[in-house]
Structure 1
């Protein structure tokens, strides 16, 4: 099992290195001067030169690439020259010096995701730390909605196989998979937040925390979570319904279910005590993979509902060409994909030892 985990971790690190490389070169071949993006339209040539030197924009693309890898690495190499980009500044790096070799300082640090072009030099890590928890709450809520509603309707669909109700549920679940999330978000916001507002008391837009009427403190607004969680959960909901239905139908054909029926157990008792647990296995497996997709798929949903999460931050950064935030956010999402995939692979290996031996 240990070798299996180490192999998966090795592949994950190679994947992360590939993603990092693609992200860097993709965003650094775009037209435009990053220094001008940071300073705006009122810059002087002296200011441009100072910014280029400070952030390493005056170096070759290859050198900038190694600077970027050095910033992201846990163990990094730094110059003693204060004018050099790699100087171990406390403003940039949260680091501990390990040792000094000649004119190079080797340090252990947290990954440095650079600074925002548009937020007055705010660190990208700070921006992500402020918005990622909201996205995480939204993704978890969407998964919970998909599980609860999906399992319920999946059971109903299986028990009423080939009936009008079963066909209606299948049509609705297929429709849920095919409708784009941004369209569902617009539709839900308009219908439940505007047309039915006096009944639902839900807002078309709003985040988890909002300033009170006096602008003095942030207040928790859980009702703003309802619509975006429902919209984001529609696609996994449709998958859960289909998986639950098919899995339960398969389980109900097993011999031990026939034995339970012969003992006189009711359908409810059979489902609750015998069939449900085994039928949930493929559902739980699929949901674990969907969770990472929720983080990436929340981009347009958050933007439409005004949810202050990582997805909305990415859209805002795209509108203002705030490249460090875009690159940092994409890296974080990729890292979470990788971590979740490793976790799922380890679970697979634990459930089926044959996998770890291949």
Structure 2
């Protein structure tokens, strides 16, 4: 088990290193000067030169890449010279000094995702920490809806194969997979938040935390979670239905299911004790992938519903060319993908004893 986890962590670090490299190169070969993006409409050449020096934009691309890796690394090296980019600024880094050799200090710190271009003095990690929990709540709610309803409808569809009930569920799942999330978001917001507002009491837009009518305190608005969670969960719900149905139909033809029926077990006992657990393997794969992708796929849903999450923050960062926020958000999403994939491999071993952790 320990060797398996260490092996997975090693490959996860390699994958993350590749993601970091691609992200850095992608956003640093784009046209435009990051220093000018930070200054906006100001054209002060002296201030522009100072910004380039402060953030290392005046250095070659290879040096900037080394600076970026140094910022992200938990163990990093910093100069004592205030004129250097790597100068150990306590306001920028929250670090613990390990040792110092000559003019270089080695420290242990949290990965530094740099500062936002548009939110002066605010670290990207702070921006993400303020918005990621809202996206996490939305993603968990959406995937919970997809799991519970999807598994139930998948079982019903398999039990009533070729029945009108099965065909109706298949039509629903096909529509769920084919309709884009942004279109569903617009449709749900308009229909349930505007047309049926008198009956549903739901709003077209709104986030989890909002100021009260007097602007004095923040209140939790759980009702604002309903529509975006349903919209975000429609596509994984459709996938879970299809996978659960097809997996159960395949398992129903296995010899041990026939043996269970021959022993006189009811269909409910067969499904609960034998079929469902074995049918969950492909469903777990789909759920893990969809949960991680929801952190990225929530972009349009959050923006349309006005949900103050990481997805909405990414859209705002794209509109303002806030590259550090975009790069930091993509890295966090990639890290979530990697962690979930490792977690899913462990779940496989629990669901299927034939799967060995190697």
Q: Point out the more displaced range, 310-319 or 245-254.
A: 245-254
TM alignment of 1:39-188, pairs within 5 A:
39-188=39-188
* CA offsets 1:24-71 (integer angstroms, 9 cap, x no match): 111111222212211211341221112111111111111111111000
Question: Superposed, which structure 2 residues align to 1:157-306 within 5 Å?
Answer: 157-262=157-262, 265-306=265-306
Partner of residue 11, structure 1: 11
**Is the 8 Å Cα contact of residues 243 and 282 (structure 2) preserved in structure 1?**
yes
After superposition, the Cα gap between the structure-2 partners of 1:125 and 1:63, relative to the gap in structure 1 and judged at 3 Å, is same
Deviation, 1:123, is 0.6
Q: d(CA) in 1 for partners of 2:262 and 2:349? A: 36
Any gaps of 5 or more consecutive residues in structure 2? none
Distance of 1:216 and 1:259 partners within structure 2: 66
Aligned-pair Cα RMSD in Å: 1.8
* Gap runs ≥5 in structure 1: none
Aligned residues of 1:12 and 1:338 also touching (Cα < 8 A): yes
TM-score (norm 2): 0.94
Alignment of 1:23-42 (within 5 A): 23-42=23-42
Q: Aligned with 1:127: secondary structure?
A: helix
Cα drift, residue 258 of structure 1: 4.0
Aligned to 2:315: 315
Contact 1:16–1:334, Cα closer than 8 Å, also in 2: yes
Judged with a 3 Å threshold, the aligned counterparts in structure 2 of structure 1 residues 153 and 257 are, in CA distance, closer, same or farther, namely: same
Aligned equivalents of 2:199, 2:81: Cα separation in 1: 65
Report the Cα distance in structure 2 between the residues aligned to 1:209 and 1:356, rounded to whole angstroms. Answer: 42
Do the aligned residues in 2 keep the contact of 1:240 with 1:283 (CA within 8 Å)?
yes
State how far apart, in whole Å, the 1-side matches of 2:15 and 2:279 are: 33
In 2, Cα distance between the equivalents of 1:31 and 1:256?
62
Q: Which moved more, 1:56-65 or 1:90-99?
A: 56-65
Deviates more, 1:73-82 or 1:248-257: 248-257
Contact 2:284 2:344 in 1 (8 A): no
1:255, CA displacement in angstroms?
4.4
Deviations 1:282-336 (A, max 9, x none): 3234312321111111111111111100000000000000011000000100111
In the TM superposition, residue 128 of structure 1 has moved relative to its aligned partner by 0.1
After TM superposition, give the deviation of residue 261 of structure 1 in Å. 4.1
**How far 1:355 moved relative to its partner?**
4.7
Q: Structure 1 residues 176, 12: CA separation in 2 closer, same or farther (over 3 Å shift)? A: same
Shift of 1:280: 3.1
> Take 1:228 and 1:161, find their aligned partners in 2: how far apart are those partners?
32
TM-score, normalization: structure 1?
0.94
| TM superposition shift of 1:260 | 4.7
Are the counterparts in 2 of residues 97 and 108 from structure 1 also a CA contact under 8 Å? yes
Tell me: CA distance 1:122–1:341, structure 2 relative to 1, closer, same or farther (3 Å): same
1:119 positional shift: 1.0
Question: Is this contact kept in 1: 2:348–2:355, CA < 8 A?
Answer: no
Residues in 1 aligned to 2:120 and 2:198: alpha-carbon distance in whole angstroms: 41
